[in-house]
Structures are given as structure tokens and as C-alpha cells.
Structure 1
């Protein structure tokens, strides 16, 4: 079966959902060699993965993952993006998740260490002094105390252990960038997903329809960012009730000035953490502050807390001006420090 799948891929044919499911299962179990896996992942990446292939991979990994769902928490939100845009921006979605939690939105933030970026969400959390959850109990404890759980993906997806070394060897995005946001072990009801380009965003919208996620907003900047962009227009795909509505959104529509990409880039996790702290205190450079405001407002819209992104912008601005998100972060880091002392 594996040899048949590889032959199909080598002939530039696409896989059915069942074939993709089978291949991912065998990859996780070690029945696929590194050379075979690298060939398949590379070819799929350069030709573009199909909706059926993505769905097959997601379903296989979900089957093999450690579930962290809890009946205690409903209407969870996630802000995980695909990564792979190569822009070296600071951890925008992590900043957004802290702001949302400070507003009482329950967030299950799924993330990992950097693979194709300067700083992954788990990297910047470490720099901020926060420990990501490594099991069901820690995740629920974080949610109960702070309205946010940080889920370090490798702890919940042991099936991807073999894949991790392969990803590090391949210097470009793969299907695993696409599927990362769809593997949250707490199964969030709402999601804001940043995609690396419009083609990926459109495919993810169709994948989400098949997977049955309640409501998701997939966004991709026309400048190549896997975020709502502050430097250019953003293509958005709103998935709800088994339908997809696509539209273009500009910073001006949100009442924000366009910014400069150079003000969003960082060299490492420490710079990212410092910029996040500055923004949460209502400071930071205007471009960085505004891209966080825009994405946090989009997350409020995605989670049905506001009827428009513009309405969300005003709420986020007030949150940053009051420094309530920074105080929320301080509470989390103080507790972490105390736990380590004890």
C-alpha cells in the first residue's frame, strides 16, 4: 500500500482522504522511511496539498493524539496559525491570546517551538516565564485560573515525534504547517487561523467545512503574512454553518493606520517577548501595536463577541490603554515563579 501511494505521488497524482489517512498512520508508526517521507512531503508541498489530503492527515493525527477536551469549558477560542510565512515577525497570535484571556474569553492556545520562524509560540512563552501545559490536568488548571491554556503540541501529539526531525530537515513549509491549527487537543469551538497564502487559506476553509468546526476565520495578508496584515490588505474566509464567505479587509476599515513590516520583525524569542510586554502595556511601536489590535479584534469577531472587526478594535484599544492584559500576564508569570520556588 505504501509503495502504491508513493508511486501515485511520484506520478503527480493526488491521494484520496483514506490514502492520506493510511500514509500518516504508517508514518507515525515508523513504517515509512525518512527518504520515502521526505519525497512525499516535498512533492506534496511544491504541487500543493489537496483538501482530501489535508483532511486525511488531520483525522489520522487526531486519532493518535492525547485528547485534552474538558466538559468544564465551552466555546473555547484558539489563535494558532500555520506559520511558514518566513517573515520573522514577533509572536502576534500569542500576544492576542493573552489579551483575549484578560477580557474573559477562554482560550486554548495551541503551539510549538519554532520550525521555520525565529520564535515559535512555545519559545516566546518560555521567554515570558510561562510554562506550556503538558497534560489534560495542567491545561484545565490554567484555564480555570487564567482563562487560558497554553498547549505545547508535542506533548499532546506523540504520533508526530518522528515527523519533528523530518520537518527540521526540510527547509520549507509542509503539510504539517497547514494542519497544525486543526490539531488542538481541546477542540475549540472558535478559531482565528493565519495562513501563509491565499491558496492555503482557501483550502483550510474547505477542510474546516469537512471537519465540522463551528466557526473559524482564516486570514492571510497580501504581503505574505499569516496574520491579519497591518501593512497591506487581508483576504479572509469566514466558515460557519457549512458555508464559506470570503472577503478582503483593510487596516483602514478597522480605523487603523498602515504600518511597516520592518517594525514587526524580531531576531529571537527574547526580542519577541520584550515587544509583546511593551504592547500589552499600551506602548511598543505603532505598527506592532496596531497589528495586535487588528488580530485581537478579528478574534473577537471570529468568536462572535462582536458583530464587526471595527467594533472589536475599540475594545482592544481600551484593554491595552488600561494595561489589563499586561496585569493578566503578570499574574500568570508570578504564579509560575511561585510554583517553581515551591
Structure 2
């Protein structure tokens, strides 16, 4: 099928069928599209808005074409990967991953370099001293022994290089920002996803339901944060064993006060961001730690480690207080550098 046929529905602002969406994504990832064609697809989807069915079909192709080890023999994972693109903040979801892993949850964090800032999860992990692109054997060993692995998106999705230039030249967020969290190579069955626009909350949850994810919480802070906000209310959609519900989370619902927005601001460079993350997982009395607790609590809750969010918050707090989160961070850095 040629390109005009593939995009015919999009030209009329209509949704693609599952088959059409899969064929279009396969066309893009095979490198058949020119930069102009890839940019046109991203532009039309941005204007129309990608439907849940389209997101699921696109993600199915990306999962199928991902490379790396098979994870079928390992335990169910939680992924705390978000879309990026919200208001700038320090690396809350990465800190939450360390705390959650230290509390006994298996974390397969899918991530990349910065979108909303110059310090994404990959950037800050490198600044902490970790090796983000390990061999497949090392990655699988880390998931087995430490319960925490980092799945560097470009290494697992090399086919996306074909749309990379068009994405950079467009200069705005595209459907591929949404697809990152939906295309976890380990097939994470539990996901905490922060999104940059509240209009994405419900479609992302519906897409994960179509993909067979067991539980997921999709969150957008009303302050613009692409996380569960410790500053303002957060709009969410919750996928729980096939059912989707919507609602509002507040900092007070986690037993914490609403923080000053200045607390979550990122540092000026990678070293400062690494220091902020280190303090968040080390100093339980710091406001940085408090800022991470809602995200860590949601990860623990959807993974079934706590009966509700309040219990999960206390579990996360205790994990930091006992030094387990700091130890997990140090273990992760050490193991990632072991050949």
C-alpha cells in the first residue's frame, strides 16, 4: 500500500482502523517514509488527537519490533516511565523507582533522555554513575538480582531512528511521546504513567487496557506536572483488572501537605539534578523526599504491595527512613557497571 492510501483517513481527521494503524506504523519503522511523510503523520495525529485504539495498535507494532532479552521467565514488573513534556521538575519518577524497588517491587523502568528538561531518567542515572546501556545479559541479571533494570529506549527500539530526524525538526510533542510508556519491552503489567496533557489521561488508560496491562495509573498534575503532583491536585485514570475509573488525587490524600512549587524545580545541570535525586531517596525528612512519596506510593499500590495509598505512602517513607532506598540506588549503580 502506498503512502497516500495509508494516511487517507487521517486526511479527513478520521481514526485509523487497527489494521490501518499497524500498517502505517510498520511503514514508518521500516524506514519507507521520507522525513516529510513522517512529519505529516505526526502533524495530523497531533491535530486530530490519537485515539486509544490507534495508540494500542501503534504500540503493538513497537513492542513486536523491540529488541533485547526475553523476560517471560521473570516476575511481573512495574514501569514508572512517563511521557515527559510537563513543567520542569527534578527526576521524581526515577526517585520513585528506587524507592519502590527497595520496598520489594520489581521495576523495569523504560526511559530516555530529557524531554521537558535537559535531564531525563537516562541523563540523571548517568550523572549518578550508572551505565544506562548495558549488555542484555547484565540487564537481565539486574532485573533478577536487584529487582531494578533500566530499559534505555533507543537500544530497545532502534527502528524509531527512522522518525528521529522528523521529530527533532518538528519541535513539538508528537504521538511518539505517548508511545514511549506504552512500548515497554519487558511487557510491564503494572504502570505508573505521568502525561503532559490531561486530555491524554483517559486514552492512555484505554490503550493500556487494549494491550492487556493489568493495572495502571495515568496521571496529570493540574499544575502541569507530568507526575502525581505533590503540589496540586492530580487528574487520573485508573486501569484495574480491566475496569477504568477516573478521579482526582490530592497531596493530602497521601497524608502529606501540598508543597511549595519551588521544591520540585530541577537543578541547573546534571550534577545538581543527581544531588536532588540522591537527597530525595536518602533524607526522609526532606521536602524532596516528600515530593516523591505520592509517586512511589502509587507504584506500590498498583503492584499490590499495599491495601491503599495511605499505607503505601507510609511504606515508601519507611523504606527511605531505613536506608533501603539509598542502598538500592547504590546497588543499581554498582551492578550496572559490572561486566
**TM-score, normalised on structure 2?**
0.93
Shift of 1:260: 2.2
Distance change >3 Å, CA 7–CA 188, structure 1 → 2: closer
Task: Please list the CA deviations of residues 90-121 of structure 1 after superposition, one character each: whole Å capped at 9, or x if unmatched.
Answer: 11111111111112211111101124432111
State the match for 1:269 in structure 2. Answer: 270
- In structure 2, how many angstroms separate the alpha carbons of the residues matched to 1:90 and 1:46? 30
Deviation for aligned residue 1:68: 3.0
d(CA) in 1 for partners of 2:332 and 2:207? 35
- In structure 2, the partner of 1:168 is 168
1:3: which partner in 2? Answer: 4
- After superposition, residues 51-70 of structure 1 pair within 5 angstroms as 51-70=52-71
Tell me the distance in 2 between the aligned counterparts of 1:247 and 1:33: 42
Does the aligned pair in 1 maintain the 2:84–2:114 contact within 8 Å? no
State the alpha-carbon separation in 1 of the partners of residues 246 and 58 from structure 2: 25
Tell me the alpha carbon deviations over residues 315-334 of structure 1, each in whole angstroms, 9 at most, x when there is no partner: 11112222221122223334
- Taking a change above 3 Å as real, the CA distance of residues 270 and 97 of structure 1, as seen in their structure-2 partners, is same
Shift of 1:252: 0.8
Distance 1:20 1:268 in 2: 39
Bigger RCO of structures 1 and 2 (CA < 8 A, at least 6 apart)? 2
Question: Distance between the aligned counterparts of 1:271 and 1:168, measured in 2?
Answer: 26
Counterpart residue number, 1:193: 193
- 1:208, distance to aligned residue in structure 2 (A): 1.2
CA deviation profile, 1:64-94 (whole Å, cap 9, x unmatched): 1115332432121111111121x12111111
The RMSD of aligned alpha carbons is 1.8
Provide structure 1 residue ranges, at least 5 long, that are not aligned to the other structure. Answer: none
* Contact map agreement 1:111 1:122 (CA 8 A) in 2: yes
CA apart distance, 1:256: 0.5
Deviations 1:128-175 (A, max 9, x none): 111124453222111123110111011111111112222222222111
Contact 1:135 1:156 in 2 (8 A): no
Using a 3 Å threshold, how does the CA distance of structure 1 residues 33 and 168 change in structure 2: closer, same or farther? same
Query: Is residue 25 from structure 1 mapped to residue 14 from structure 2 by the alignment?
Result: no
Asked if 1:306 corresponds to 2:306, the answer is: yes
1:282 matches 2:283: yes
Give me the whole-angstrom Cα distance separating, in 2, the residues matched to 1:76 and 1:254: 23
Q: How many residues align?
A: 337
Unmatched tracts of structure 2, length 5 or more: none
Aligned pairs for 1:123-272 (under 5 A) are: 123-266=123-266, 267-272=268-273
Please give the alpha-carbon distance, in whole angstroms, between the structure 2 residues aligned to 1:138 and 1:65. 18
Residue 32 (structure 1) shift: 0.9
- Whether contact under 8 Å (1:79, 1:191) holds in the other structure is yes
Instruction: Name the CA shift for 1:332/1:134 in 2 (closer, same or farther; >3 Å).
Output: closer
Distance 1:206 1:71, change over 3 A: closer
Aligned to 2:45: 44
User: CA contact under 8 A between 1:69 and 1:187: conserved in structure 2?
Assistant: no
Superposed, 1:89-128 pairs within 5 Å as 89-128=89-128
Secondary structure at the residue paired with 1:196?
coil
Which stretch has the larger CA shift, 136-145 or 270-279? Answer: 136-145
Match of 2:131, SS state, is coil
Q: Secondary structure at the match of 1:89?
A: coil
